Amino acid sequence: MIETLDIVSWAGPYDDNFRRRAAERLEAGAVLLFPSLGFPLDDTETALVRSAGSDGSAKNISLDPATGQCKGSTISGTELATLTAMLDRFGKSARSLVEGLLPHYAAGLERARTSFRPVEISGRHSSWRQDDKRLHVDAFPSRPMQGRRILRVFANIDLDGTPRHWRIGPDFETYAARFLPSLPRAVPGKSWLLHRLGVTRARRSRYDEVMLFLHDAAKRDLGWQRDAPVQEVDFPPGCAWAVFTDQVAHAATAGRNALEQSFYVEPGALARPETAPLAVLKRMCGAAMV
Ligand SMILES: [Fe+2]
């Protein structure tokens, strides 16, 4: 489940061995772990990370690279400018890493939001659907992906040595097989209506409906949350990791001060599309998904 790649720079070129292993293992459902890939902060950023953690007002502060705007933060002025620049620098570094390790993705890669997650996860309360301490695969209620992949790059930038703790669940097909028997039938006109009402940015495909169902069904099932086989992983400060979070069942149960960059990957850019949730669900459901 974990493929360790000991690279030390966010900028390539990377040697063939690293690129081959990254391409093979990522799409097979592994987490790529870069134990020596720290994201260095300057003095101003360090001070900002310290104060953001103590404030605790926001779960996630996110930068939309399309607008250059940060959301979720109560800070302003020079501090906000520092935060925005730090997030943008991380987003560019993450893109450089992905394009260097997985050059075949470059033409089908969209940089989405960059987020800073300052607040300690353990002990935080949220609704069951939003509780990322429960195992789940990622799916977005308002942003239909229509088969595009969700690839995320994380870095732990905590200043006090706190690891980020994940539980990683069974492979995607095993996960899907557990919940698909209770998948509701498609409701004709529902995706059209949700889009028309502005609930979704585009029409949900059947793929989006099934992925949302898998997300919710897993989080709601406390018995499965307790009994599913998991691998416990600590990501210490100074490391980074990359994973297809629409494929790998994951739960973040402790830690603070992580940076995260989301990418959307076109299915046509994948090296092994048959391993993607789109193809697995099509085979398991015996029906077209998009
Ligand atoms: Fe998630």
Give residue 100's identity as a one-letter amino acid code: G
238-268 pLDDT, tens digit per residue, is: 999 999 999 999 999 999 999 999 999 999 9
Distance (angstroms) between ligand 1 centre and the Cα of 214 equals 12
Fold entry, domain 2-285: Jelly Rolls (2.60.120)
| Under 8 Å between Cβ of 97 and 242 | yes
Distance (angstroms) between ligand 1 centre and the Cα of 137 equals 6
Distance (angstroms) between ligand 1 centre and the Cα of 131 equals 9
Q: How confident is the model at residue 123 (pLDDT cuts 50, 70, 90)?
A: confident
170-217 pLDDT, tens digit per residue, is: 999 999 999 999 999 888 899 999 999 998 998 999 999 999 999 999
Percent of the chain having pLDDT more than 70? 98
pLDDT exceeds cutoff 60 at 57: no
Distance (angstroms) between ligand 1 centre and the Cα of 251 equals 7
Average pLDDT of the residues in 233-240: 98
140-179 pLDDT, tens digit per residue, is: 999 999 999 999 999 999 999 999 999 999 999 999 999 9
pLDDT of 237: 98
Sorted by sequence, the CB contacts under 8 Å of residue 50 that are 6+ apart come out as: 159
26-39 pLDDT, tens digit per residue, is: 999 999 999 999 99
Distance (angstroms) between ligand 1 centre and the Cα of 39 equals 21
Distance (angstroms) between ligand 1 centre and the Cα of 11 equals 26
pLDDT of 164: 98
Question: What is the b/e burial string over 103-117, where b = at least 16 CB atoms within 10 angstroms of the residue's CB?
Answer: eebeebbebbbbbbb
pLDDT exceeds cutoff 80 at 59: no
CA torsion through residues 125, 129, 130, 134, sign: positive
pLDDT of 56: 58
Domain boundaries defined on the chain = 2-285
pLDDT of 54: 59
Q: How confident is the model at residue 58 (pLDDT cuts 50, 70, 90)?
A: low
Kindly report the average pLDDT of the chain as a whole number.
Answer: 94
Distance (angstroms) between ligand 1 centre and the Cα of 16 equals 30
pLDDT exceeds cutoff 80 at 55: no
pLDDT of 73: 81
Tell me the three-class secondary structure of the chain, residue by residue. CEEECCCCCCCCCCCHHHHHHHHHHHHCCCEEEECCCCCCCCHHHHHHHHHHHHHCCCCCEEEECCCCEEECCCCCHHHHHHHHHHHHHHHHHHHHHHHHHCHHHHHHEEEEEEEEECCCCCCCCCCHHHCCCCCECCCCCCCCCCCCEEEEEEEECCCCCCCEEEEECCCHHHHHHHHHHHCCCCCCCHHHHHHHCCCCCCCCCHHHHHHHHHHHHHHHCHHHHHHCCCEEEEECCCCEEEEECCCCCEEEEECCCEEEEEEEECHHHCCCHHHCHHHHHHHHHCCCCC
pLDDT exceeds cutoff 90 at 52: no
pLDDT of 124: 85
Distance (angstroms) between ligand 1 centre and the Cα of 83 equals 23
Distance (angstroms) between ligand 1 centre and the Cα of 132 equals 6
Average pLDDT of the residues in 95-122: 95
Average pLDDT of the residues in 269-283: 96
Distance (angstroms) between ligand 1 centre and the Cα of 52 equals 22
Distance (angstroms) between ligand 1 centre and the Cα of 45 equals 26
Distance (angstroms) between ligand 1 centre and the Cα of 284 equals 23
